[in-house]
């Protein structure tokens, strides 16, 4: 027995070691080496000496647990949120501003270099302010405390399914934070519970979706939900249920796995037309949920995509409008691809240009078309899956400029069509440097020149960054 105890103790000591952090990874982890093997350490920064628990070797690397910092980097700062390091939402609150900006830009330049575009220099990072995120998807878990089943509502720990119950968040609009406590009380009353809650503060109206109900709401619950949103000034509440064969639709959450819609798997909203009627049910809507783009008031379908922050949305629109340099004296013909509800297209229309929108989500395309008709704007909107059926070279021929803002997977098929076309100017918007670099390579190989590339830090303290690029076709 003594021999086995000694062996176990030796193994435990081997799993714990000291390493020096040499680099900062794309995901925000500090990177060092142990016996020549890369070790990734969340919360560690270059220049620091740390003691870690290596854990198992997986895919030729260790994802170690930080036990102790033996020295601090000059790049370290005090995180503004007490949940940092526990909550998996943010990965970079501990990095001071200057090295933080350098890290964000390095992720972009590395992706470009991987595609042979290392000579491209991005513009300075446009920073979005804290407490400005207007949409989030919260996770829920339930446990028995003092004989009562109580919900934890927040974000999951990094690499874990455990939900960190939060009372505040440094990136979210205060208006959304005030709903967290009431929502905990509400979901505790729902039979079978709720798996996730989506909150969106639209320019007009607050929208709530309760996901993962195990049964359809009965009359009593429907009345309870309607009373809840009336009391808290919520414009609309919908439920997504697993009962009765309902299926979960792809949604735009996450830039990354943080459940805060960091991701841009996001040009897909809740669309009964796409996934079958009854997928999502609006329980009550006492007010409007809409976005205003010039004179166009767009009614948002439940779960419709909206840029993560109003600041970021405005920054994207400014870069596109300025970068395309469309002639003011002549009406330009513009295609807005993956148009969503028309956040960019309507802005171009307000400048006098003729805009045709294409969007894969049927409900969003219909909402944009309805808003254009109601406002008397010469904008058309068509539902079209651009990944499977991109605009052809012949279809692109009438357009002076094209905008595309695809999901995280990018727009390879459409980029190939553009590369073979004669379109003079292209604006590309992306939240994924890797797929953007691939699509940029296609356009450049097809004769375009990348004239400007502007990174926008819309996903504060995450590993993600928004991009706006302007391409111009080379003469001759």
Phi, psi angles (nearest 5°) of residue 106: -65, -35
What is d(CA 64, CA 308) in angstroms, rounded to the nearest whole number?
A: 31
Phi, psi angles (nearest 5°) of residue 347: -65, -40
Looking at 243-344, list the stretches that DSSP marks H as alpha helix, in order from N- to C-terminal side: 272-275, 310-324
The CA R_g of the chain, rounded to the nearest whole Å, is 24
CA 108, 112, 113, 114 torsion: positive or negative? Answer: positive
Q: Is 131 exposed, middle or buried (0-12, 13-18, 19+ CB in 10 A)?
A: middle
What is d(CA 80, CA 82) in angstroms, rounded to the nearest whole number?
A: 7
Phi, psi angles (nearest 5°) of residue 174: -55, -35
What is d(CA 443, CA 198) in angstroms, rounded to the nearest whole number?
A: 36
In which order are the strands placed within the sheet that holds 281-284?
Answer: 163-165, 148-156, 135-145, 196-201, 206-213, 236-241, 281-284
Beta-bridged to residue 138, according to DSSP, are 197
What is d(CA 116, CA 104) in angstroms, rounded to the nearest whole number?
A: 19
Catalytic residue, from 17, 87, 206, 431: name it.
431
What is d(CA 18, CA 70) in angstroms, rounded to the nearest whole number?
A: 9
DSSP state of 106: H
Q: Is 17 a catalytic residue?
A: no
What is d(CA 442, CA 423) in angstroms, rounded to the nearest whole number?
A: 14
Q: 153, 46, 157: which is closest to 91 by C-alpha?
A: 157
Report the C-alpha dihedral over residues 301, 303, 309, 311, rounded to 10 degrees. -20
Report the C-alpha dihedral over residues 15, 23, 455, 132, rounded to 10 degrees. 50
Phi, psi angles (nearest 5°) of residue 393: -60, -40
Burial 269-285 (b: 16+ CB within 10 A, else e): bbbbebbeeebbbebbb
Beta-bridged to residue 210, according to DSSP, are 197, 239
What is d(CA 312, CA 320) in angstroms, rounded to the nearest whole number?
A: 12
Phi, psi angles (nearest 5°) of residue 20: -100, 135
**Helix or strand run (H / E) with residue 16:** strand 16-20
Q: Which residue has the tokens 């010469």?
A: 378
Q: Which residues are catalytic?
A: 431
């Amino acid at each position: 027995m003594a021999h086995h105890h000694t062996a176990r103790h030796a193994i435990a000591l081997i799993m714990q070691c000291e390493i020096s952090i040499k680099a900062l990874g794309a995901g925000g982890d500090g990177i060092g080496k142990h016996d020549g093997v890369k070790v990734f350490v969340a919360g560690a920064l270059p220049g620091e000496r740390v003691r870690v628990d290596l854990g198992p070797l997986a895919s030729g690397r260790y994802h170690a647990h930080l036990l102790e910092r033996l020295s601090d980097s000059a790049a370290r700062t005090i995180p503004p949120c007490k949940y940092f390091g526990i909550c998996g939402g943010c990965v970079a609150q501990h990095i001071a501003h200057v090295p933080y900006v350098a890290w964000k830009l390095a992720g972009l330049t590395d992706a470009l270099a991987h595609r042979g575009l290392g000579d491209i220099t991005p513009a300075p990072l446009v920073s979005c302010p804290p407490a400005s995120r207007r949409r989030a998807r919260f996770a829920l878990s339930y446990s028995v405390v003092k004989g009562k089943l109580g919900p934890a509502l927040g974000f999951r720990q990094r690499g874990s399914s455990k939900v960190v119950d939060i009372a505040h968040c440094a990136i979210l609009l205060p208006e959304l934070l005030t709903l967290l406590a009431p929502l905990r009380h509400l979901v505790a009353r729902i039979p079978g519970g709720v798996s996730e809650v989506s909150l969106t503060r639209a320019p007009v109206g607050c929208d709530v979706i309760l996901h993962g109900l195990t049964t359809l709401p009965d009359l009593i619950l429907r009345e309870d939900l309607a009373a809840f949103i009336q009391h808290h000034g919520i414009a609309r509440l919908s439920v997504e249920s697993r009962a009765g064969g309902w299926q979960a639709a792809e949604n735009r959450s996450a830039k990354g796995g943080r459940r805060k819609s960091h991701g841009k798997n996001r040009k897909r909203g809740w669309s009964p037309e796409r996934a079958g009627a009854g997928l999502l049910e609006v329980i009550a809507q006492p007010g409007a949920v809409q976005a205003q783009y010039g004179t166009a008031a767009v009614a948002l379908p439940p779960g419709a995509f909206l840029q993560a922050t109003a600041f970021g949305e405005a920054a994207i629109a400014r870069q596109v409008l300025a970068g395309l340099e469309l002639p003011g004296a002549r009406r330009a013909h513009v295609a807005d691809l993956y148009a969503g509800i028309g956040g960019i297209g309507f802005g171009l229309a307000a400048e006098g240009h003729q805009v045709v929108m294409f969007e894969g989500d049927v409900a969003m395309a219909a909402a944009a078309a309805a808003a254009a008709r109601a406002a008397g704007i010469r904008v058309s909107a068509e539902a079209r899956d651009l990944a499977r059926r991109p605009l052809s070279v012949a279809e692109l021929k009438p357009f002076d400029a094209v905008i595309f803002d695809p999901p995280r997977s990018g727009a390879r098929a459409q980029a190939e069509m553009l590369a073979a076309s004669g379109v003079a100017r292209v604006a590309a918007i992306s939240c994924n440097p890797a797929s953007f670099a691939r699509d940029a390579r296609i356009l450049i190989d097809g004769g375009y020149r990348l004239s400007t590339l502007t990174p926008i830090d819309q996903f504060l303290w995450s590993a993600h960054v928004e991009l706006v690029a302007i391409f111009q076709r080379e003469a001759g």
